[in-house]
Structure 1
Amino acid sequence: MSRAFTLCADDFAQSAAIGEAILDLLAARRLSATSVFSQAPQLAALPDVDAGLHFKLTHPLGDITRPLPYWLVASRLRRLPVKQLSDALFATLAEYRFPAGRPYLRAPDRLGHPGDSRAKAAILRAACSGFSRRVTDAGYPALMTQWLAAAPDGALLMCHPGGDDADDEIAGARRNEYRYLASARFAEDCERAGVTLRPFRSAI
């Protein structure tokens, strides 16, 4: 039985290299959707595709930008600037026109009890350990094959393709994702798994 899933590329407009890679894959119909930085100038180049908002607090695109350690410590100490955060979020929502007239909200899988932050942190570290290295070592096709086999009908799968970017610490992993998604092998893996890409708006 054939299954359909949405493949969404994260981080459009984070940099020119990432944006160009995503545009190439969208044009080749190797992606269903993308998430965007609404404050970035490159947003004007995005065609009429399914696009969700990437609300980012660590990339230098707004006044509220801070390093990730700041947000982690502030959240643990319950000292988040709630008014600043809500103002930034609503301003971003107001300036971005969403497909279907509403924002898409991605709910993460439940990795641990929400009240047990230490356990959740440990699980997240274990889940992410070595991911960038494995992808850079050309393990991404094997990982994608597993995900395609396990994905239920209507699944949403996030990916992070990109190009050469000296300021991006995971640029190597992004390049490997891009090369695989642009290749004939990805199309063959989808066919073999009995899955097809579909626009995100058809799933909501």
Structure 2
Amino acid sequence: MAHKKKQLTLCVDDFGLNEYVNQAVFQLAAAHRISATSCLTQADAWAAGAHQLRGLDIDIGLHINFTEQLGQDTHFHQPLSRLMVSAWLRRLKPAILVRSIERQCDLFEKHMKREPDFFDGHQHVHQFPQIRDALMDVLIRRYDCDDFWVRSTAMRNASLARGLQWKARLIALLGSSALRRRLQRIDFPYNDDFAGIYALAGGSARFEQHMREWLAEAGERIVIMCHPADGVDPKDSIGEQRAAEFAFLKSDAFGQLLTAQATRLARYPT
């Protein structure tokens, strides 16, 4: 008797950052090697890539940014460490946060001609104090909760397999547990498990090792993030590892791994 395949949502973060990331998404989606991508709508390559993105059968979400200066948009941002301190001390101005999220939503809808399938945060900022409040405010006012999901970074099985318990605890302290409780209270859909966190170094071999362990431990309704790119942008601090991830994801070895682990890539089941 055949066993039912596990469903995995494999999400490429940072679409729009540059043409290398965009091309990786297009190629991997065409090869059925990913099932979602999360978009930086303030970035230079967003508008040019969005038209082609509209034709892909994958989940397409908004990657909310508060830490990077992107493109020509004069948006609010702070370095990650400063943003964390500001958020935990509640020194951020809620109105500015709401306006920035609204602007990023506007840019998504302008170029995609529809609403996002899901919401998450660049460097997980969507779970920070004050920012998660602003996000919930925008989602409640602007969207129907039956039509989207929100990325939870709360880890259960898959990421813990690599001895990442300390990172899971750190991310929980940074807001994953609080975000999940908030989503439960207002009945917004979210994923049950999350993986994809590692040092973003070590080449294709290290990424393959992590992916094998994530898939071995993955349960249903898991989201795994990745960061592939079809080339190296010299301005990108993780450009070499992005190219290494892409090399593995498009390889026969990844296809064979999915088969061996009885795993099927799928859009997130809302």
**2:7 counterpart residue number:** 4
Residue 198 of structure 1 deviates from its aligned partner by: 1.2
Per-residue deviation, 1:72: 2.2
Q: Please give the residue correspondences for 1:19-168 in structure 2 after superposition, counting only pairs within 5 Å.
A: 19-39=22-42, 40-41=46-47, 42-48=49-55, 49-61=58-70, 62=73, 63-95=75-107, 96=109, 97-98=114-115, 102-109=147-154, 111-112=168-169, 131-134=199-202, 136=203, 138-162=205-229, 163-168=231-236
Separation of aligned partners in 2, 1:115 and 1:158: 17
Q: Which moved more, 1:102-111 or 1:12-21?
A: 102-111
Percent identity of equivalent pairs: 28
Distance (whole Å) between structure 1 residues aligned to residue 212 and residue 25 of structure 2 = 20
How many Å separate the matches in 1 of 2:259 and 2:88? Answer: 45
Q: Is the 8 A contact 1:51 1:98 kept in 2?
A: no
CA gap 1:177/1:32 in 2 versus in 1, 3 angstroms: same
Contact 1:12 1:22 in 2 (8 A): yes
Matches of 1:54 and 1:181, distance apart in 2: 21
Kindly report the root-mean-square deviation, in angstroms, between the aligned alpha carbons of the 2 structures.
2.6
Residue-pair matches, total: 192
SS at match of 1:54: strand
Once the two structures are superposed, what CA deviation does each residue of 1:42-97 show, in whole Å capped at 9, x if it has no partner? 32331333201101112223321332233123124321122101111123224422
Report the AA paired with residue 186 of structure 1.
F
Task: After TM superposition, give the deviation of residue 4 of structure 1 in Å.
Answer: 1.4
CA offsets 1:142-174 (integer angstroms, 9 cap, x no match): 110111111112321111111211111111111
Partner residue in 2 for 1:13? 16
Q: Which moved more, 1:64-73 or 1:24-33?
A: 64-73
Q: 1:99 to 1:93 in 2, by over 3 A?
A: closer
**86-95 or 51-60, which moves further after superposition?**
86-95
Are residue 170 (structure 1) and residue 238 (structure 2) matched? yes
Residues 154 and 171 of structure 2 are in contact (CA less than 8 Å); yes or no, is this contact kept in structure 1?
Answer: no
Structure 1 gaps of 5+ residues are 121-126
Say which structure, 1 or 2, has more relative contact order (CA 8 Å, 6+ apart): 1
Runs of 5+ in structure 2 lacking a partner? 118-143, 156-167, 178-195
What secondary structure sits across from 1:108 in the alignment? coil
Shift in CA distance, 194/88, structure 1 to aligned 2, threshold 3 Å: same
C-alpha distance 191-113 of structure 1, shift in aligned 2 (>3 A): closer
- The aligned counterpart of 1:123 is none
SS of the residue corresponding to residue 157 of structure 1 reads strand
Structure 2 length normalisation: TM-score?
Answer: 0.64
What is the TM-score when the length of structure 1 is the normalising length? 0.82
Q: Secondary structure at the match of 1:88?
A: helix
- Return closer, same or farther for 1:14/1:155 CA change in 2, 3 Å cut-off: same
